[in-house]
A and B are shown apart, each in its own frame.
Chain A
């Protein structure tokens, strides 16, 4: 186990964490501002990936594909908000869970109907493919580095948007007291649509970026959705900062655990047993992390009251 391997895996974990952050940011924003639990967030991730794959197939341009993913997911998000989600803000969480679960069924089967059951592929563009040499002589895929960079830039942009712009002020005010800002003349329902579409666009971007590493297929959003839930439970629901910290924690724990736990067990057990026990335990590691965080802080690291 060399130093270079560790660094490589840390970078992988960072890349995974940054992707999770793009997913979790939208979820936590929507919950923080509108009080809505949205299971269909993973479907927006899928919409982004499919839009990117379709546009890349037509035009061959990766940049256009990314723009398409943002636009398609934002449009799908806005459409769903206006037709369905809007009616759910005053309902209890059970209704929200059911209605958004129904949306998943509609999105998944609708996508299967449009694109078929076979996975699509989205190629990494030539200018982002191949390895780069980092300090200490590490060879690392350029595309993954680009994902980390894009994720960090988008994350910084989001913090700037929330902290410094007029719409950010309105979002934060909406979190604190929705009646009051409505009384001050902010069109609250338009604000909600914008926030929902923003979260959707981030999920769609994440879907497109990951779609170039993995295959683009129906149901791809659901494992990520549940990880994003773990992230915001750890970080504290409603907190963007919590989502960032939680995402990096989960990304690093999952990646490093998957690589190093089997090796750790190999020091003590037979190779076959070590591999299977290590893999089983590694797959549970982030949930154990979540349970541990909840034991100490039931409302997450940066959460207020639930």
Chain B
């Protein structure tokens, strides 16, 4: 795995170097693009724990992305209107402090993941794919009809939320926040993959019966993985909403689920840095092809199709060779 590790370090350094360079050249747009890559990669890192490590093909991770986004939108909109969210049984006020927003986003998406996971994991295979998709769609329609927080039009926040000690309105400082969170998540998922839990989860993916035979419960392993995976994607959702200062039902749409999955797959399933490579390539394609043609998603579709049919190891597979896995 030496070459893969080297490649990973190079990718992380590149993600850090590009915005620093752009900062020197005073190109704030490029910093914003890099921030977007970091945040979307974070969403992919979350999904990769369920998908790569646990083998759970969730087509509903936009649910957690959106829950995180709405956690930010709800708290921040109450803070900017000086109204408490509710005053009974205890006073709960809005907030524009990122740490508190993140905590809320993580708790909310973990609860969502617990409920969705407990129901969906009763099934497997195609049923699991369709059910996660359906629950995501349920939240999407709920957000559309929930007029108190913008309904179909979404919810705008006037000023980006605050991080103690930093000026988040400065693009490079906000990038630093997103990059820091991404590094933590990557470190965490590397530790998780090597932990006893991660090994058991991986084993349950490869051979459910053997895991049961040694006395472990695959359902519990998978549920825990799902509840770890969801909040990481949820945290990415909160950051993404903060980047745009806007949250809308689109974050919950199944296209978003598909895109998060594309990040993971483009890079290579189960590879730790797959989501980073995938998100970077996706944003680059969107930026470059989007400039050439309004219909750039045709090319994205063709690329993805070619990838699935002919290049199974993902983009990381090309430079570092196949193998991989978690």
Using a CB–CB cutoff of 8 Å, the interface residues on chain A facing chain B are 31, 37, 84, 87, 91, 93-95, 97-99, 101-106, 108-110, 112-113, 222, 226, 229-230, 232-233, 237, 276, 279-280, 283-284, 287-288, 290-291, 294-295, 298-300, 306
A302 to chain B: closest CB distance in Å?
14
Q: Specify which of A37, A105, A109, A113 is in contact with B129 (CB 8 Å cutoff).
A: A37
Q: Specify which of A91, A93, A230, A287 is in contact with B126 (CB 8 Å cutoff).
A: A93
Name the A residues within 8 Å of B309 (CB-CB): 84, 87, 99
In the assembled complex, 22 residue pairs joining A and B whose CB atoms fall closer than 8 Å, in A order, are: A97-B129, A97-B261, A98-B304, A102-B300, A106-B301, A106-B305, A112-B295, A222-B254, A226-B137, A229-B130, A229-B133, A230-B130, A233-B131, A280-B145, A284-B142, A287-B134, A287-B135, A294-B122, A294-B131, A300-B127, A306-B124, A306-B125
Name the A residues within 8 Å of B296 (CB-CB): 109
Q: How far is the CA of A288 from the CA of B131 in the complex (A)?
A: 11
- B18-59: CB near A (< 8 Å → 1, else 0) gives 000000000000000000000000000000000100000101
B304 touches A102 (CB 8 A): yes
Name the A residues within 8 Å of B130 (CB-CB): 37, 229-230, 232-233
B282 to chain A: closest CB distance in Å?
12
B298 touches A298 (CB 8 A): no
A105 touches B304 (CB 8 A): yes
Q: How far is the CA of A110 from the CA of B258 in the complex (A)?
A: 19
Name the B residues within 8 Å of A113 (CB-CB): 295, 298
User: 5 closest pairs, A vs B, by CB?
Assistant: A105-B301, A287-B138, A283-B141, A102-B304, A106-B301
A230 touches B295 (CB 8 A): no
Using a CB–CB cutoff of 8 Å, the interface residues on chain B facing chain A are 51, 57, 59, 119, 122-127, 129-131, 133-135, 137-138, 141-142, 144-148, 254, 258, 261-262, 265, 269, 295-298, 300-302, 304-305, 307-309
Give the tally of cross-chain contacts (CB within 8 A): 124
A294 touches B142 (CB 8 A): no
Name the A residues within 8 Å of B307 (CB-CB): 98
Q: A98-B304, A290-B134, A295-B122 are in contact. Are A280 and B127 (CB under 8 A)?
A: no
B305 touches A299 (CB 8 A): no
**Which residue on B lies nearest to A35, using beta carbons?**
B126
Name the A residues within 8 Å of B131 (CB-CB): 233, 290, 294
Q: How far is the CA of A263 from the CA of B282 in the complex (A)?
A: 46
A237 touches B57 (CB 8 A): no
Name the B residues within 8 Å of A299 (CB-CB): 123, 127
A75 to chain B: closest CB distance in Å?
19
Name the B residues within 8 Å of A288 (CB-CB): 138
